[in-house]
Structure 1
Amino acid sequence: MIDDFAKEYLHNDLREIREVMLWKLDGLGEYDIRRPLTSTGTNLLGLVKHLSMVESRYFGEVFDRPFADPLPRWNDAEEHGADMWATEHETRAEVAGRYRRAWEHSDTTITALAIDSPGHVPWWPRPDVKLFNILVHVLTETNRHAGHADIPHEQLVKSTGTTARHATPHRDATFWEALCAKIERAAEAAATEPDHAGPRTTFT
């Protein structure tokens, strides 16, 4: 009983956070969903592309249930990092569609297998796993990347949240400038306190 509950609980959380990732693309133009918005190139469409690979691989080959779409080998050095951004030839519909197909494949695997069903992850130090391990891993990774997506999404639309219904209210530029100035003053004041003194990094 507890195994069924745990599997369904994790699965439902995964279903919800997947939708969050696609919602982050809504209402944005092609340039904005693709362009790098951090110094390491983080971009919204690339995060979705990456997660489609994650689900395809972890709920596919790990359980000997390969995904229909071709995937680069996990140890292919030439492909390393290519799943984190979309080329000009990959459309939004293609990337999002692949992610949805990966969901369907994952959902079939999750439904078909018991939570203690064995799998094998050749790129992990301890490769022998259970479905439970993979559910937790993929849910954790998806949540992590949803957090990553919040940063560029916030830069673009000045709003955060998990869905349109739960998004923070839109504010004008004056509100955000005042808030940032308040936070900056607090940071500067803390840096002068003897108990807080330490290296200071300035972003420009």
Structure 2
Amino acid sequence: MNDKEVLHRYLRLRREDLLAKLDGVGDYDARRPLTPTGTNLLGLVKHVASVQLGYFGEVFGRPSGRDLPWFEDDAAPEADLWLTAEESREDIIELHHFSAAHTDATIEALPLDAVGEVPWWSPARRRVTLQQILVHMCVETAQHLGHADILRELVDGSTGRGQNDPNMPQRTAEEWKKHWEEVETAARHALHT
């Protein structure tokens, strides 16, 4: 595998993992705010799909033609991070697939050293290569996947890539409770040392 294929593979995997965080979650739990700042599962998918379209579209002169009203000047604050009542789960999943296909086409069409310009970055940083943007989006997608991991755990206790994830300890509910108590005890004890 060459460098572009490696980066592209990681981006695809993280996109798939992010979308999979919606599996088995009801519509309300997928869109409701789970943190004081309003972070929610569908909003994370919407955000990543939206910014991916910009980075692999506009930046390299390959606009998607997709209208993203949540980026308009009169849009509600952080409208790319949550869904209105009129926006459906299906709308966001379709956007995710559309964004992935458009991104994949750009990555396949251009060499890693292809030059683009990020108009929303400062003038000193605007000139970029496809490699920089691939790394940027791998990192951004992984960051939001981490947010989604925590949100999903808050919703129903699911962690990682599910029950067979080799990176997640396999514990019973009682074992997790005991582990939680150990961590809590250590934290409280640290306050007195």
Q: TM-score, normalised by structure 1?
A: 0.86
Residue 40 (structure 2) aligned to one of 40, 43, 58: 43
Structure 2 unaligned residues grouped into runs of 5+? none
Q: How many Å apart are 1:78 and its aligned residue? A: 3.6
The equivalent residue for 2:156 is 157
**2:179 aligned residue:** 179
Is 1:142 the counterpart of 2:141? The answer is yes
Is 1:127 aligned to residue 140 of structure 2?
no
Retained in 1: the 8 A contact 2:21–2:152? yes
**How far, CA to CA, are the matches of 2:163 and 2:181 in structure 1?**
27
> Residue type of the partner of 1:140?
V
- Conservation of the 8 A alpha-carbon contact between 1:23 and 1:163: no
Structure 1 residues 73 and 180: CA distance shift in structure 2, 3 A: closer
Q: How many aligned positions are there?
A: 189
Task: Specify the alignment match of 2:112 in structure 1.
Answer: 115
Q: Distance in 2 between the 1:96 and 1:130 partners?
A: 28
Per the TM alignment, residue 164 of structure 1 is displaced from its structure 2 partner at its CA by 5.6
2:183 aligned with 1:191: no
Q: Determine the C-alpha separation between the residues in 2 that align with 1:152 and 1:10.
A: 26
* SS in structure 2 of the partner of residue 154 of structure 1: helix
SS in 1 for 2:38: coil
Bigger Cα displacement from structure 2, 39-48 vs 175-184: 175-184
- Distance in 1, matches of 2:171 and 2:87, equals 31
Secondary structure, counterpart of 1:41 in structure 2 = coil
Query: Pairwise CA RMSD of aligned residues?
Result: 1.9
- Write the distance in 2 (CA, Å) between the matches of 1:120 and 1:136: 15
- Letter of the structure 1 residue corresponding to residue 157 of structure 2: K
User: 8 Å contact 1:158–1:171 — kept in the other structure?
Assistant: no
The unaligned stretches of length 5 or more in structure 1 are: 194-204
Shift of 1:134: 0.5
Alignment CA distance shift 1:170-1:178 (3 Å): closer
The amino acid that maps onto 2:185 is: R
SS class of match (1:192): coil
Q: Aligned-pair distance for 1:71?
A: 2.4
Could you tell me which amino acid in structure 2 is paired with residue 14 of structure 1? L
Q: What is the CA–CA distance in structure 2 between the aligned matches of 1:90 and 1:107, rounded to whole Å?
A: 25
Letter in 2 for 1:114: P
1:139–1:152 distance in 2 versus 1, CA, 3 Å: same
Residue 29 of structure 1: aligned partner: 26
Separation in 1 of the partners of 2:25 and 2:70?
32
Aligned counterparts of 2:3 and 2:162: Cα–Cα separation in 1: 25
- Aligned amino acid, residue 124 of structure 1: W
Distance 1:163 1:185, change over 3 A: closer
Alignment partners' CA distance in 2, 1:143 and 1:77 = 29
Greater radius of gyration (CA)? 1
Q: CA deviation at 1:73?
A: 8.2
CA, structure 1 residues 80+118, in 2 after alignment: closer, same or farther (shift >3 Å)?
farther
Deviation at 1:66, TM superposition (A): 0.5
